[in-house]
């Protein structure tokens, strides 16, 4: 049986946390990409859950993107839409109810996101 | 069921005198997708609803459901006024007793200003959980 002091255990766990980050980042990138794809489907006529898909020129759909950032030991995934009118479409206005194409994608892909992150986390732990 | 939940939430919000006083009346409605909102007004929309069969569904017919509820608050006064209204909606929803429905928390809050109409808008989203028996 390996024996170690609390300080040694802490150092080892800190090292393990750093080692699994690349694997978790890969998983987060994949999960965010999956949500991006679903958000784009939400903006496509024929596959949109809304009575009228938020689609006219295709700009809103085309500009949706994802990115992953690492801050210390935190891995954050983002799905963004930089289009000028994206917020008005997503949140709604006084003239039209919102069509939250990104939030709905996050909610509907929750199980898939958990599976992807769990798979990459265990992959990272195995490598430690 | 969504209709029943929305109705129960509207009733709970209308029963909150602090909110109705600040609004100047019981201007709390379910949102119709295409309709223009009355100002001031509080509008409720269901964003997403998901459900999963509980183990033993074949005999008991229980389903656990989750819903994202969007509450839009509109006013043509100042941003501070619409913020106050949104805070009152927040408080009213968290203290409301809704039979069989659990408000799990607020998912998001965002503020917009419609420059062409001069209206302020706060969009609040809440996660609700409830059970159904088919």
Which residues of chain A make contact with B72, given a CB cutoff of 8 A? Answer: 92, 97-98
**ipTM of the complex as predicted:** 0.82
Quick: pLDDT tens for A54-102: 999 999 999 999 999 999 889 999 999 999 999 999 999 999 888 999 9
Rounded mean pLDDT, B75-86 = 92
B95-133 confidence digits (pLDDT tens) = 888 888 888 889 999 999 998 889 999 999 999 999 888
Return d(Cα A52, Cα A35) in angstroms, integer. Answer: 20
Determine the Cα–Cα distance for residues A65 and B62; give it in Å rounded to an integer. 38
User: Which pTM was predicted?
Assistant: 0.84
Give B80's contacts (C-beta < 8 A, 6+ positions apart). none
Are the Cβ atoms of A94 and B121 closer than 8 angstroms?
yes
Assigned token pair, B90: 């927040």
Contacts of B70 in chain A (CB under 8 A): 92, 97-98, 100
Quick one: which of A85, A102, A114, A115 has its CA closest to A36?
A102
Q: What is the mean pLDDT of residues A26-39?
A: 97
Question: Is B117 at the interface with chain A, CB within 8 A?
Answer: yes
Q: CB count, 10 Å around CB of B43?
A: 24
pLDDT reading at A128 higher than 80: no
């Amino acid at each position: 049986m390996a024996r170690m002091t609390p300080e040694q255990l802490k150092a080892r766990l800190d090292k393990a946390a750093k080692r699994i980050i690349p694997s978790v980042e890969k998983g987060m990138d994949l999960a965010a990409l999956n949500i991006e794809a679903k958000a784009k489907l939400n903006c496509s006529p024929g596959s949109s859950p809304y009575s009228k898909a938020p689609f006219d020129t295709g700009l809103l759909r085309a500009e949706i993107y994802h990115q992953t950032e690492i801050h210390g030991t935190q891995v954050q995934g983002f799905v963004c839409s930089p289009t000028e009118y994206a917020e008005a479409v997503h949140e709604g206005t006084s003239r039209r109810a919102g069509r939250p194409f990104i939030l709905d994608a996050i909610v509907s892909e929750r199980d898939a996101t958990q599976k992807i992150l769990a798979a990459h986390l265990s992959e990272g732990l195995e490598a430690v | 069921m969504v209709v029943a939940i929305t109705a129960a939430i509207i009733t709970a919000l209308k029963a909150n005198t602090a909110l109705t006083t600040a609004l100047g009346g019981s201007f709390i409605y379910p949102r119709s997708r295409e309709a223009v909102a009355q100002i001031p007004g509080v509008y409720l929309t269901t964003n997403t609803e998901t459900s999963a069969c509980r183990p033993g569904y074949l005999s008991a017919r229980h389903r656990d459901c989750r819903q994202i509820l969007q509450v839009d608050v509109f006013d043509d006064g100042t941003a501070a006024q619409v913020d106050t209204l949104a805070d009152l909606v927040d408080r009213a929803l968290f203290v409301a007793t809704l039979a069989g429905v659990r408000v799990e928390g607020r998912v998001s809050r965002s503020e917009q200003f419609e420059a062409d109409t001069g209206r302020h808008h706060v969009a609040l989203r809440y996660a609700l959980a409830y059970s159904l028996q088919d």
